[in-house]
Amino acid sequence: MKAVVLCGGRGERLMPMTDRRPAALLRLCGKEILLFTLEMLEKAGFEEAVLAVGYGSEQVERLLDEKYSGKIKLHMINTAGKSTVQAVRTAMSDETEILAVECNCICICTHPLDEIIKVHLSHDTFCTALTYDTENKPAGIYIVKRELFESLNPEKPMDMTEDIIPEAVKSGEAVLLDGKGYYKRITTPEAFLDCQRHMLYNKNMSQRLTENNFSGAAIGEPVYIGENVSVMSGSVIESGSVIDDNAVVKGGKVDGYVGIGSVISERCDINRAVVCRGAVLDSGVKCGEYSVIGEKAHIASEAVIEKGVGIWSGKTVEKGARLYENVKRSSDSRLVIDENGECSLWGGEATAQKALLFGLCAASAIKKGGSIVTAYGSDESLLLKQALDCGICQAGVNVYSIGRAGISELSYAVNRLGGEFGILIGANISGHARLISAGGMLPDEKLLDRIGSIADDRAYRSVGLSQTGCVTDFSVVREIYVAELEKILPDRFKGVNVDIRTYDVKKATLADRLFHGRNDIDGERIIFNLSADGTKVSAYSEKTSYVMWEKLVAMYAGVCFEKGLAVALPENFPSNADAAAEDHCGRLYRYENNADIAKDVAVSTHNMFAYDGLYLASAVTSYLSEQGITLQKALCDVPDAYTSSRFVGITMSRENKEKIFSELGCSAEGEITSGKTHAVIRPLRDKKGITVFAESLSCEQAAAFCEDITSRIKGIFR
């Protein structure tokens, strides 16, 4: 018999505890409810289970990847928006009968599951369900046969325990089995805290995982104190409380639950309340019975949260406020790394403290002893760079510092030094940090998600003094980078007179060093305009007018193909590069589609033209000089590529992404091709929308294809 675990519920009655994660991922005594459920099934001998996921499915998948190493073979299906009846029917697939467990509202059930199976087999009925209620209401564990659903309308949303099983009992098609031991439906903060206390008092789950005697703090028993917790002198932790991993209690009294990475300041009074992960309570805050402070909420000093009041995730409560009603969600304060690898350091003014914390997050996402290459983008951001390096070293990771540099030099340094990735901090006045991997690619998306998760949970890794990383000065790499550019340039240009335009003073100085002494004053006048980050360049001459970056890249890719060199380009680069590959029988790889091969090609020195505007300008100029041809002649066989883009404001959950890709017939990378027209669907990293890029050799075809895809996506959700 297979098991079906319903773990996609939003848990509306638990809000704001479930504002950012499904109820199945709430933690009790250091472990998620879903993991308790899987342990229960494993002890009963189940070898296979189907997880019916929905809300927060990405988080469920990440949890299983990181923490579940049990013996049960797991399958995931998406049942978002379905009732429990519809979800069970979908999850059953071809099975004749299954055991279902409603994980989102059940935690510790001590009734032996094999006894439920025996009772079910001894009755000729369609369903056997546990009950712990004096009124014989079914609980959330039941065995059900396919026949139970045959007479039901599959389109009508119904609940198994509220609608179907009670009616089946009345008609003799189901039996109820009185449950033994403890059982709790976790549908309210009160039930959550009650279950927590039961586990501590009756299940002997009291632990102190932190290696600390908490000198000066009064700690009752039983309690659960997680890893890397700091409880300072003067704090009072009442019996039956849980202080989860990486939390900090600076003083005051705690009776209830304090989530991962939360901060409880001096004189706070947590009275049978729930403080969710990442929340910060300033001094003198009082939380009444069964009140809930949502994730990443900030409660200013002396504020009073009355009994049963919920503060939604990310909300800020002003100093001295007294709240009698729920405060709903406001702007998100999570650390977000966007599609270009940029992070705004939690928004607002950039500070050394934020840079240090970002360094801790980034380094905690990789193994101790690893290395990260760092650089800063302006003289004003040197302090941010120093704080960033301190944070990285504090997490046991080494820093290869190349000093003040741009993204191109940083990419080259990551290639040469072999760091896990690079960070350019303070590249602009708002103090953004930018992450880059070898070959000019973005770091792996799972790594970026891991960094964001660490920031949310404040799960920074901290090591002893003997294990801290060290900072090594590798600023010499910048000169090696310049030497690499000089190597591809001839001593003198023939028929070419180049001028480089850029707002970066250092880049302008370098360009003058590279081109001024080599120019043929009587040659073709070509002006190259570098992008702000230096990764792209456009060109202008009297005969060609403006030539965009994409066409220059496609042209030089053809030069590489002629030399027998492979080329790696971003997955959404226009198809004129493919045309060049066809013309020259060249090898073209995309960063995503051929990730392993593409990575090897991307880090090759000759491939720098794909992500380094100055290198591309140097390579194109050298080629024109060597061949004795004009820019117009070099570009004559390269077709133009026209692009069009649209934004669609649809929340891009995993289930929505799968639905869109399936309906439109996309590849796994979100690509669609129609004749000579190509499109890519790209979800934003914050999941708050998607962008559709279309490109073709005709601007009309690109725009029409983009409009068609956008309309079809909107039609799916009407």
* 56-74 pLDDT per residue, tens: 888 888 888 888 888 888 8
Contact 378, 427 (CB under 8 A): yes
Per residue in 9-58, pLDDT tens? 778 889 999 988 888 999 999 999 999 889 888 888 888 999 998 888 88
Q: What whole-number distance in Å separates Cα of residue 404 and Cα of residue 103?
A: 52
Q: Which range has the worst mean pLDDT, 550-554, 645-649, 711-715? A: 645-649
Q: What percent of the chain has pLDDT over 90?
A: 38
Q: If pLDDT is split at 50, 70 and 90, which confidence band does 431 have? A: low
Of 348 and 249, the one with more pLDDT:
249
Residue entry with tokens 């934004």: 647
Mean pLDDT, range 337-351, rounded to an integer: 73
In the beta sheet, which residues pair with residue 374? Answer: 401, 423
CB 664 within 8 A of CB 710: no
Segment 356-385 shows an average pLDDT of: 92
Q: pLDDT tens digits for 488-510?
A: 999 999 999 999 988 778 888 99
> Phi and psi (nearest 5°) for 74?
-110, 140
The alpha-helical segments, DSSP class H, found in 326-443 are 352-364, 382-394, 407-417
Q: Which of 665, 694, 698, 696 shows the shortest CA–CA distance to 682?
A: 694
527 or 646: which leads in pLDDT: 527
pTM: 0.62
151-165, 331-345, 594-608, 623-637: the lowest-pLDDT one: 331-345
Q: Is the pLDDT of residue 619 over 90?
A: yes
Phi–psi pair at 552, nearest 5 degrees: -65, -40
- Is 650 a residue whose pLDDT tops 90? no
Lowest mean pLDDT, pick from 31-40, 330-339, 455-464, 672-681: 330-339
In this prediction, residues 113-126 reach a mean pLDDT of: 85
Degrees to nearest 5, angle at CA 452 with 68 and 339: 115
The pLDDT, as a whole number, for residue 332 is 47
With 50 as the cut, is the pLDDT of residue 429 above it? no
Stretch 216-237: mean pLDDT: 92
Specify the range with the lowest mean pLDDT, choosing from 341-345, 390-394, 625-629: 341-345
Question: Looking at residue 310, what is its pLDDT?
Answer: 94
Assign 371 to helix, strand or coil: strand
| CA R_g for the chain | 30
pLDDT digits (tens, 9 = 90+) for 14-28: 999 998 888 899 999
DSSP summary character for residue 439 = G
CA separation for the pair 445, 595 (Å, rounded): 13
- What integer best gives the mean pLDDT of the chain? 86
**What proportion of the chain, given as a percentage, has pLDDT over 70?**
94
Q: Give residue 331's pLDDT.
A: 42
With a cut of 90, say whether residue 363 has pLDDT above it: yes
Question: Using one digit for the tens of pLDDT, what is the confidence trace for 170-206?
Answer: 888 888 888 877 777 888 999 999 999 999 998 888 8
Furthest CA-CA distance within the chain: 99
154 in helix, strand or coil? coil
Nearest to 345 by CA among 246, 288, 448, 426: 426
